[in-house]
Structure formats: C-alpha cells, structure tokens
Chain A
Amino acid sequence: MNRTVLDLWVGIFVAIGIAAFLFLALKVGNLSSGHLSETYTLQARFDNIGGLKVRGPVKSAGVRVGRIADIRFDPATYEAVVTMDIDGRYRFPRDTFAAIYTSGLLGEQFIGFDVGGDDRMLRAGDTVTKTQSAVVLEKLISQFLFNKAAEGQGTK
C-alpha cells in the first residue's frame, strides 16, 4: 500500500469521525443552543416539588430560559430549596411567580415563571418569593373522593 494513499484514507477517516462527532454535538445534542451564554442563579422554595428533577428546564411563556441546578431539603423550614441557573440575557421582576407544571399529562415536570409587573428585577442569588408547589396526583384524587363523599352525604 502506497504511503500517500494510506495517508489520504487516514485523513478521510479522521475527518468523517470528527464530522460525526460534530453532528452529534450540534444536531443531536444541544450544544448550539446550550449554556455557553452566562447564567446567574436564582433560588425558590417549595412545599412540594413533586417529580421535579435536577437538569429539568425553567420556562417562561413556554420558552426555556434556564435549568434547575440543584434541589435540596431545608431541615429548618421543611421546605424544598431549588437552585436555578437562568440565562444571563433574561431578567425577571421581583414579583415573578414560580410554579411547578407538568408538560403534557404524564410528561416531565418543569418550573414556569409567570411574570408580574414589578419594576425592580431579581438579581443573582435572589430568592423568588412567590411559589406554587407541584400538584400531587394522589392528593387530587383523595380531594375528589372527599368532595364526592361530602356531596353524597349532603343529598341524603
């Protein structure tokens, strides 16, 4: 095998290998739209985070604006403390409402920001004060059954 033909093939091999890697990184993964922009942290406290997971999205108006970085339990207040990395391009007002939603009926859960009208913005490290915990299906069902039972009693 001629040396130069061999070199050519090796070059082609390395080139398409790197191309495949870039394909995976950009088209398949989210490198292009990823965290390469700067982020700042915000915190939020919830009574119940339901099925929220680390790395879950933080959305506003349905668009992803950040990611959940950490979820911890506060033994003093018995609340869940969620730390979020928010894209540095976006600022949210002080009275933003952070609620836990579910995408679709059985999909993954995420935090949605509903903005209020405050002029002052949340700064890095601030805590979102208004939160709504996740809807827990069991509680909903027992609530429903309770209501049904109360209704039944009432019409007797």
Chain B
Amino acid sequence: MAESMSSIRKLGHAVVDRIWRLGFAARFLVAVLRYSGPSFRRLPLTLREIYFSGVLSLLIIMVSGLFVGLVLGLQGYETLQRYGSTEALGVLVALSLTRELGPVVAALLFASRAGSSVTAEIGLMKATEQLKAMDIMAVNPIARVVAPRFWGGVVSMPLLAALFSAMGVFGGWLIGVVFIGVDDGAFWSQMQSGVDFRYDVWNGVIKSFVFGIAVSLIAVFEGYDSVPTAEGVSRAITRTVVTSALAILALDFVLTSFMFRGTS
C-alpha cells in the first residue's frame, strides 16, 4: 500500500513538474521572440544557424525522402495491383507525402539531427559559463545565441519538408515507372488531378511550419535550461529528441483533425 502511494505521489510530482516546465517554456518563447531583433538586423547570425541546422541536414533529409518514396512506391504498387488500380500509384505516393509523411518524418529527422545539435551547443556553452560571460559583458545571450538558432530552425524546417516530399515523389516515380513499369503519363496525370494545392500541399507546408516552431523551441529551451554539467547536457539532448517526437506526433493529430475533416 505504501509503495503504491509513493509511486502515485511520484507520478503526480512528475506531472506537476512537466506542467511547470511547460509554463516555463512558454515564457521562454516570449523572451526569445522579444529579443529576436538582432536575429534579423544582423542577418549573418541567423544565416549561420540556417547553415548548421538546414544545410547540414540536407543529406539525411534527401536520402530519407528518397527511401520513403521508394518504399511507398513498392508497397503502394503491391496493394493497388490487387484492385487493378496501379495508375493511382502517383496519387497515393504524392498525397501520403505532402499531407503527412513529408512534414512529420522530416520534422522527426530534423529534431534528431539539428535539434539535438542545437541543444548540445547551447548546453555546453552554459556548462562552460560562456553564456554567463556574455551576460557579464552586457550582451544578451538570448538575443545573441538562442534566438538566431530558433529562427534558423523555423526557416529550415518547411524547406526541408518540401525537399523530403519532392524526393519522395521522385522515389515513387523511380520505383513505379522506371523499374516496375507503371505508365508514366498515368502516374503524373492522376497525381495532378488528385492532389490539390491548397488542400494537400499547402496544408503540408503549414504543418511543417508549426513543427519547425515546436522543434526549434524545444531544442533551444532544453539547451538553455540544462543542468550545467556533462551529464546534464547529455540528458537535455535526450529530452530534446523525445519531447520533439511526442510534440510532432501530437501536433500532427491536432492539425490533421482541423485540416482534413473528411469531405462531405
């Protein structure tokens, strides 16, 4: 009895702690936005972060997009073939990517590669007192270090999601048309009539933008809030990846239920 009480108490404590951190993170977001001026006035700061978060993620995003497209093509063909509707392969691949897989998988990969890297950078700067040094030199570390990394992520994310989807469509085309032999014309024409810009592509872009904000905020927050030791930083990195994944999937559900309410 006493054991279950203490585990319930621990659970309650953990939940309260999480909620407290959520509020803290919200205030942090406000602070980041407030001190974002230098990120735009001194563009090289933000450009540098777009390079480290976006450009260096290009390889993993494009290769993964290609593979996802290849798999979609294979699996899609296998299933459609049973109903004699293989010309719908293009629509299948395109819709899966633009609506869901593109934004979600790209965001997950981005969180793992770029998000964890940003958390590590900020966390290490905190652990070696570099942030305090900046503060004592009357330079606001949030404006100088945190905000550019946040905006770098926000800008990079939609671009990476678009690239992921584009590579995926290419992968689907490669497998379906080039290797298996689905009709090239049918592949593209069905896709064009089946995919609506506003409904499918644009909604996907909105999703990736929202994911970008969430992942970037989590990454910079975990870094800034980390315990300033080596162990603290490594735990913060883990938290970034896990929290980002959960946030992406939860937000995906919320956004999807708003956007794709089912026609008629």
Contacts and interface: CB of A to CB of B under 8 A. Distances in A.
Q: Are chains A and B touching directly in their complex (CB below 8 angstroms)?
A: yes
A71 B264 contact: yes
A34 B51 contact: no
Interface of B: 44, 47-48, 50-51, 54-55, 58, 83, 94, 98, 156, 158-160, 162-163, 165-167, 169, 188, 191-193, 195-197, 199-201, 205, 263-264
Contacts, number: 93
Contacts of B192: 27-30, 33
Which of B47, B160, B162, B200 gathers the greatest number of chain A CB atoms within 10 Å?
B162
Contacts of A55: 196, 199, 263
By Cβ-Cβ distance, the 4 closest A-B pairs, closest first, are A17-B159, A20-B166, A29-B197, A31-B197
A121 interface: no
**SS class of chain B's interface: helix, strand, loop or mixed?**
helix
* Interface bin, chain A: 20 to 34
Nearest to B102: A24
Contacts of A6: 47-48, 51
Contacts of A14: 50, 159
B98 A24 contact: yes
Interface in A25-66: 25, 27-31, 33-34, 52-57, 64
**SS class of chain A's interface: helix, strand, loop or mixed?**
helix
B47 A28 contact: no
Contacts of A29: 98, 192, 195-197, 200-201
A18 interface: yes
B197 A10 contact: no
A10 B264 contact: no
B204 to A, nearest CB: 8
B259 to A, nearest CB: 13
A145 B129 CA distance: 85
24 contacts: A6-B47, A13-B50, A17-B54, A20-B162, A20-B163, A20-B166, A21-B158, A21-B162, A23-B166, A24-B98, A24-B162, A24-B169, A28-B191, A28-B201, A29-B98, A29-B196, A30-B192, A30-B193, A30-B195, A53-B264, A54-B263, A54-B264, A55-B196, A56-B263
